Amino acid sequence: MNTKGLGRPIIREIVKIVEETELTKTFYFNGEGLFAKPGQFYMLWLPEIDEKPISACITNIEEGFIGLSIKKVGRFTEEIQQRKIGDKVGIRGPFGKGFNHEKGRKAIFIAGGIGIAPIRSIFDLLKKEQEELVLIYGAQTDSDLVFKEYFTQFTNNVTYCTDDGSFGYHGFPTDILRNFLEKEIKKGGELNYSIYGCGSELFLKAVLDLIASIDQSLLTHTQLSLADRYMRCGVGLCGSCIIDDTGLSVCKDGPVFTGEILAKTTDFGIYGRNPDGSKSKIQPHY
Amino acid sequence: MTDLQTQIGDISIRSPLILAAGVLGTSFSSIKRVYNNGFGAMVSKSIGIKPNAGYVNPTIFLLPETRSAMNAVGLANPGVEDFFEKMKPNLEEKLPIIYSIYGNEEEQIRAIIEKLNQLNPLAYELNVSCPHGGKFGLSVLHDDELFRSLVTTAKKYATCPVWVKLSPNAVNITDYAEIAISSGADAIVAINTLKAMVIDIETMTPVLANKAGGLSGKAIKPIGVRAVYDLYSRFPKTPIIGVGGIETAEDVIEYLLAGASAVEIGTAFAYTDDQEKLGTQINSELESYLKDKGLKLEELIGKAHKE
Ligand SMILES: Cc1cc2nc3c(=O)[nH]c(=O)nc-3n(C[C@H](O)[C@H](O)[C@H](O)COP(=O)(O)O)c2cc1C
Ligand code: FES
């Protein structure tokens, strides 16, 4: 197997920082040796602080850089947000199996909160190859929505949703997805869609349950990224990220799984794993 | 039963391949997945009396240039109570599971074993050799008195064989084996990871949060093979389970020739694209080797030792 990128952290300077919103910044690095496929992730190391999984977001091979969009949600992300241009971080990866681009099917992207980061990576690939792109993107409030102007350049089929109604549709992305699919069904014919999703696991569970209730056959064409889980090795060794009952690792077998596989797990959307390997109920957050 | 069946004392397993401790061994579902890919048995993550979150990350990374890995997880585990609950499905499924356990007091070992006995283990593997386990790690091995008492206690309460896992961080590994065997150990497992460090030259910092950790994978294979060879020379009657750097059938055969009755495999799981096939692939290569040579698996064990 190709072991490129599987090794120790590569140290890179932050070359650019874009403040997307109050809570989210995108950090840019020289991408040499680090280019990811959409849906893969990195382990980001802040020496003497911690190392955490971060989804690949912006991959620009032509211009040679990568960008990682990070929202302040805890100690680690707060720490990175204090870093400045020229500061060094370590990056391992990219790891895992990313999204599988299903050619010949129309694309629906559905994202909750900072789950938009990996969705942008698959959106960027498909925008070069496909006409019809549907994006449904929700967050708690307007100021949590990132890349708004960006997406609007490439598709006019974007629906923004906020829990508090401060921007776009007042309600959940799943409402929009339901309406969209039901309308398509009324038009008749097969639902020739691939659905790509990322967000908190409770959100993804709601997405999956909705799709299952509308059309079971869409489950194999639904791909959800679970990059939000606790990880250590990133390479399928330690077992920190196993999802029961499948025995699959999120880092190596995922982080993207089809709805068909997720529907068979007993953990998805219910239990997460702690650093000691025990499991706890997943708490709601965006 | 296949041609690959092997005997470790009173235990018989369908293939000499065993999942090494600490790799994919914290949940029943991943252990089962490894069994379904042709392994003869699986060792669980090392379990202690209390939950232990281990060290902060980085705790593990690979060194692809030598097909190896560095880790300082620090014996992270959910503790025996939680783990017992999670492994209960095995009362039904009856997979051959060896429970790796650790502790630094007789009382802990007694309590862990009394709990896990209810799961009908295939064996226990007493881990006294973790190079980053602090007071639960190598320091146990280096205290002869304590080491002896833990093995004796494990033997006293266990309802199955007790294996003892040793470290290559020793002047002479066979001296530790002598203590284990004279205290009742049924088999010796060698080797655990080798104490090591990697420093990042840009940030001038050791990469592992714990600074030092354990080296595993291909880089330590010759060290493991020699440890097994020496153990077999001195204790030809005690079964030995060889561990360290095994990825292919050739590696397994080398360990068998050195004197191992079975082997454990860990780091190789990170270096295969298809984890589901690792076991079946090695098994079939082992079968063809045996067929070519016209030998039975047990005839390979210790065959590198010439009179
Ligand atoms: C991530 C990781 C975690 C490990 N955890 C344990 C453990 O909990 N208990 C133990 O006895 N050995 C542990 N080991 C050591 C392995 O069981 C094995 O002895 C060592 O890795 C050498 O085998 P390998 O080269 O096939 O990996 C661990 C190894 C790795 C790589
Ligand atoms: S993080 Fe180690 S197996 Fe996934």
Mean pLDDT of B63-73: 96
Mean pLDDT of B183-212: 96
Is residue A230 lining ligand 2, measured as CB closer than 6 Å?
no
Atom of ligand 1 minimally distant from the CA of B60: 1
Is residue B270 lining ligand 1, measured as CB closer than 6 Å?
no
User: A106-281 domain in CATH 3.40.50.80?
Assistant: yes
> Which of B59, B61, B67 is the best substitution to test chain A (most A C-beta atoms within 10 A)?
B61
Q: CATH code at B86?
A: 3.20.20.70
Regions of chain A where pLDDT drops below 70: 285-286
Is residue A237 lining ligand 2, measured as CB closer than 6 Å?
yes
Mean pLDDT of B119-139: 91
pLDDT tens figures, A53-66: 999 999 999 999 99
Q: With a cut of 70, say whether residue B228 has pLDDT above it.
A: yes
Nearest to A90 among B23, B64, B200 (CB): B200
B77–A45 C-beta distance less than 8 A: no
Q: What is the pLDDT of residue B141?
A: 86
Would you list the domain boundaries of chain A? 10-95, 106-281
* DSSP line for chain B: --TT-EEETTEEESSSEEEPTTSS-SSHHHHHHHHTTT-SEEEPPPB-SS-B--PPSP-EEEEGGGTEEEE---S-B-HHHHHHHHHTTHHHH---EEEEE--SSHHHHHHHHHHHGGG--SEEEEE---TT-GGGTHHHHT-HHHHHHHHHHHHHH-SS-EEEEE-S-SS-HHHHHHHHHHTT-SEEEE--PEEEE-EETTTTEESSTTSEEEEEEGGGHHHHHHHHHHHHHH-TTS-EEEESS--SHHHHHHHHHHT-SEEEE-GGGGG-S-GGGHHHHHHHHHHHHHHHHT--HHHHTTTT---
Options B130, B228, B231, B290, the catalytic residue: B130
Read off the pLDDT band of B2 (50, 70, 90).
low
The answer to whether residue B130 is catalytic is yes
A8–B73 C-beta distance less than 8 A: no
Say which CATH superfamily domain A10-95 falls into: Translation factors (2.40.30.10)
Q: Which chain B residues are within 8 Å of A244, Cβ to Cβ?
A: 27-29
pLDDT tens figures, B268-284: 999 999 999 999 999 99
Nearest CA to ligand 1 atom 29: B22
Read off the pLDDT band of B1 (50, 70, 90).
very low
Q: What is the pLDDT of residue A285?
A: 60
Q: What is the largest CA-CA distance in chain A?
A: 58
Q: What is the pLDDT of residue A253?
A: 96
* Distance in Å, alpha carbon of B235 to nearest chain A alpha carbon: 32
Atom of ligand 1 minimally distant from the CA of B43: 17
Q: Which chain B residues are within 8 Å of A245, Cβ to Cβ?
A: 29
Q: What is the pLDDT of residue A129?
A: 83
Count of domains for chain B: 1
Assess if residue B1 is contained within a domain. Answer: no
Q: Which chain A residues are within 8 Å of B269, Cβ to Cβ?
A: 236-237
Assess if residue B100 is contained within a domain. Answer: yes
